Amino acid sequence: MSLALITTLLTVVHQPPAGGPPVPNETQLRLALVGSSGPDEARIAALGGYGPAAFPVYARILGAPDDSILLLIRTLSLLADPKVKGDRGQFRDLAVDLFTHDNVVVRVRALGLAEAIGGATDAPPVVALLWDEAREVVYAAAKTLATIGDRRAVATFDVWLKRAPLRHDKELRRHVENCQADLVDRLKKEEAEKAKKPAK
């Protein structure tokens, strides 16, 4: 277990929201997440699962990745949902730690969470997954990098298009090219907005 993971677990699990509601019933929340027909969103909401009081439960789930693959996948997906309130940034290290998980869907969902809550400092491990053997993971990594990457990520896409083992997959290559274009457009817009702001 990495030092970053241990630090995050200690922070999230042992420091519940001050003055806020109590941590939801963990057993019931876990059951609501793994319903046979999908997560029971109404039950999750009733248990307070979309608020920061539930974060200690989610931290324990992400910190024990071998307990239940389905629970892990559902938790990653829930945390990527904008309906979840509170500072989800505290799960960034836990998401990155799951980039090495053996399960392809877990890696894809961890990338989805990184896309939702991460920033440019999280880009290096995302870049590594552009060379994953599973095309689903590469697809998700390119999308995530387009969302959180900085100017250096543009060059990373160039390298992938010239050297990556999966670069001959036409559909995947088109997706990567589109992600690179989206990244360039986003960076141009951000630079334009920055130029409009008066200097301090």
Q: Which of 118, 149, 167 is the last residue of a domain?
A: 118
What CA–CA distance (Å, rounded) separates 31 from 20?
A: 23
Indicate if 126 and 92 belong to the same structural domain.
no
Q: Are residues 109 and 151 in the same domain?
A: no
Residues of the chain with pLDDT under 50: 3, 6-15, 17
Question: Do residue 72 and residue 136 come from a single domain?
Answer: no
Shared domain for 112 and 139, answered yes or no, is no
Range of the domain at 126: 120-200
Same domain, 173 and 154: yes
In this structure, what CATH number is given to the domain that contains residue 144?
Answer: 1.25.10
Residue 40 sits in the same domain as residue 11:
yes
| Rounded (5°) CA angle 144-80-4 | 75
Quick: pLDDT tens for 76-134.
Answer: 999 999 999 999 999 999 999 999 999 999 999 999 999 999 999 999 999 999 999 99
pLDDT at 6: 46
- Please check whether residues 111 and 187 belong to one and the same domain: no
Q: Are residues 103 and 184 in the same domain?
A: no
Measured between alpha carbons, how far is 197 from 59 in angstroms, rounded to an integer?
38
d(CA 41, CA 164): 40
Q: How many domains are there within the chain?
A: 2
Domain limit, last residue, from 118, 139, 161 = 118
> What is the pLDDT at residue 65?
82
Exposure letters 116-155 (e unless 16+ CB within 10 A, then b): bbbeeebbebbbebbebeeeebbbbbbbbbbbbbeeebbe
H helix runs in the chain, sequence order: 3-14, 26-33, 41-46, 55-62, 69-79, 92-97, 104-117, 123-128, 135-148, 151-163, 170-196
pLDDT of residue 63: 94
Contact 59, 79 (CB under 8 A): no
Predicted confidence at residue 141, as pLDDT, reads 98
Do 106 and 154 fall into the same domain?
no
Given 118, 139, 158, the domain boundary residue is 118
Q: Residue 2's pLDDT is what?
A: 56
**Amino acid 138: pLDDT:** 98
Q: Do 114 and 124 sit in the same domain of this protein?
A: no
Same domain assignment for residues 35 and 114: yes
